[in-house]
Amino acid sequence: MPFIVGGDSTQLVADLYAGAAGASPFSFRALNGRLFFVATDAEHGAEAWVTIASPPGAALVGDVASGGLGSVPANFTSAGDFVYFSATDGATGRELWAVQVAGFPPGDMNCDGVANVLDINPFVLALSNPAAYAEQNPLCDRLNGDLEGDGNLTVLDINPFVAVLLGR
Of 113, 104, 118, the residue nearest 146 (C-alpha): 104
| pLDDT score at 54 | 56
- Going from the C-alpha of 68 to that of each of 41, 48, 98, the distances in angstroms are 8, 13, 21
**Position 37 confidence tier, pLDDT thresholds 50, 70, 90:** very high
Question: In a 3-state reduction of DSSP, which class is residue 138?
Answer: coil
Q: How many domains does the chain have?
A: 2
Averaged pLDDT, 99-120: 86
Is the confidence at residue 34, as pLDDT, over 80?
no
Domain assignment of residue 43, given as a range: 1-102
Helices marked H in 26-157: 120-128, 130-136
User: Which of 52, 87, 102 is the C-terminal boundary of a domain?
Assistant: 102
Neighbours of 45 (CB within 10 A): 18
Model confidence, pTM: 0.65
Which of the pair, 55 or 45, is modelled with greater confidence? 45
Averaged pLDDT, 3-18: 74
Is the confidence at residue 122, as pLDDT, over 90?
yes
Looking at the structure, do residues 161 and 146 belong to the same domain, yes or no? Answer: yes
Average pLDDT, the chain: 86
* Cβ-count burial 86-113 (b if 16+ within 10 Å, e if not): bbbeeeeeeeebebbbbebebbbbbbee
**11-15, 57-61, 85-89, range with greatest mean pLDDT:** 85-89
**Position 15 confidence tier, pLDDT thresholds 50, 70, 90:** confident
Element containing residue 102 per DSSP (H, E): none
Q: What is the CATH number of the domain that holds 150?
A: 1.10.1330
Is the confidence at residue 121, as pLDDT, over 90?
yes
